[in-house]
Structure 1
């Protein structure tokens, strides 16, 4: 999928940190979106703050996501609007920017709840001859990885393999991480390094 020059670039920004004023991941997603908008001044940015809390999956939601096209019950119909809204934002995106702080060696629960809402069979991915194929038009996701002490790609990092697999399953093949690990020990320097990495990125990748 190649971005058409005849329409504005659609950027979806996802923030999953429960922190605000002192959130390094939010600071860096600010920086990354600003960098994108310098290259694409007409871009549209949709921001979804996952930390406000998404409802956890219920039986009605699970049944609705699987059988919503097959005689949905009122409970199923009532469980689906937010998921449908989140999916619509994601499907419309050309580029995804994700702030992903690591908690207890993996992704925060705020992001996992989001995944459960948007990872929808027949909507964001499908199976062809038993092999999953992503249905998203976006081809690039830029992930700001922050941690207190867990190194990006280290044997204690269970977040980035999961995130890479997830986005590739949904069809986004270019998954790039901005490294802001080690904030517990040298926050200022590691934040500056991540800012420099953002400035050096070639944005965006559509191929």
Structure 2
């Protein structure tokens, strides 16, 4: 086992948000990222959350259930937040998060936004101490596999990476690393290979 490995098995959470499967570059890159992590941490556990399988939009019962989860939620509220509770538990347990994030119409996929609405829970994944917001996730790092047809990272029409970076840092993951596979419409093979090289050259976190 690597000297970087923690004293217990590492918990890796993989999140895929692409609507595509066989031809999805972001899924291909999350495969590669997870394989790289498993080389470094061979005893790690990998949990996969596939958002394309379907994330329900928040309902009134969900909103009320998430607000009153610590008090006396009704059975309807409890049912409405069950999936949210499962996804939050995955995040709270994670040491490292791997996220496949394609750009759809210059921003994040709608499935990922629905996921964000389910896991952004006051008092659970973030809170306030003396009026200052504090993220409650404990993951050391998140690796975002960013893919796009033509939207370049940091360009004026990139509304995805600023949002994703702000989101995860707000929830407590300060080390947000973005693997760039943008511009796939122009040279997909070379861009995909460059992204794999970025992954292979990453300096992974050291766990005590």
Please classify the TM superposition score into its range, dividing by the shorter chain length.
over 0.9
Distance, in Å, in 1 between the alignment partners of 2:206 and 2:81 is 32
Instruction: Give the direction of change, closer, same or farther, for the CA distance of 1:172–1:205 in structure 2 (3 Å limit).
Output: farther
1:76-132 CA-partner distances (Å, limit 9, x unpaired): 111011110000011000000000001111110111111111110000110112211
More divergent stretch after superposition (176-185 vs 66-75):
66-75
Aligned length: 205
Per-residue deviation, 1:205:
6.0
Distance, in Å, in 2 between the alignment partners of 1:54 and 1:204 is 31
Instruction: Give the direction of change, closer, same or farther, for the CA distance of 1:206–1:152 in structure 2 (3 Å limit).
Output: farther
Task: Please tell me whether the aligned partners of residues 126 and 172 of structure 2 are also in contact (alpha carbons under 8 angstroms).
Answer: yes
2:10 matched residue in structure 1: 9
Could you say what the CA RMSD is over the residues aligned between the two structures, in angstroms?
1.4
Instruction: Give the direction of change, closer, same or farther, for the CA distance of 1:106–1:206 in structure 2 (3 Å limit).
Output: farther
Per-residue deviation, 1:203:
1.1
Task: Please tell me whether the aligned partners of residues 139 and 205 of structure 1 are also in contact (alpha carbons under 8 angstroms).
Answer: no
Task: Please tell me whether the aligned partners of residues 5 and 40 of structure 2 are also in contact (alpha carbons under 8 angstroms).
Answer: no
> Is 2:56 the counterpart of 1:65?
no
1:87 matched residue in structure 2: 88
Distance, in Å, in 1 between the alignment partners of 2:93 and 2:43 is 16
Task: Please tell me whether the aligned partners of residues 174 and 205 of structure 1 are also in contact (alpha carbons under 8 angstroms).
Answer: no
1:98 matched residue in structure 2: 99
Partner secondary structure for residue 126 of structure 1: strand
1:40-86 CA-partner distances (Å, limit 9, x unpaired): 10011000100111110000000100112222122211101111000
Instruction: Give the TM-score taking structure 1 as reference length.
Output: 0.96
Structure 1 segment 23-34 matched on structure 2, within 5 A: 23-34=24-35
> Is 2:196 the counterpart of 1:182?
no
Per-residue deviation, 1:5:
2.5
Task: Please tell me whether the aligned partners of residues 134 and 170 of structure 2 are also in contact (alpha carbons under 8 angstroms).
Answer: yes
Partner secondary structure for residue 137 of structure 1: coil
Partner secondary structure for residue 96 of structure 1: strand
Task: Please tell me whether the aligned partners of residues 95 and 140 of structure 2 are also in contact (alpha carbons under 8 angstroms).
Answer: yes
Instruction: Give the TM-score taking structure 2 as reference length.
Output: 0.95
1:199 matched residue in structure 2: 200
Task: Please tell me whether the aligned partners of residues 97 and 142 of structure 2 are also in contact (alpha carbons under 8 angstroms).
Answer: yes
Deviation >2 Å, runs of 4+: 204-207
1:46 matched residue in structure 2: 47
Distance, in Å, in 2 between the alignment partners of 1:144 and 1:205 is 21
Task: Please tell me whether the aligned partners of residues 140 and 205 of structure 1 are also in contact (alpha carbons under 8 angstroms).
Answer: no
1:142 matched residue in structure 2: 143
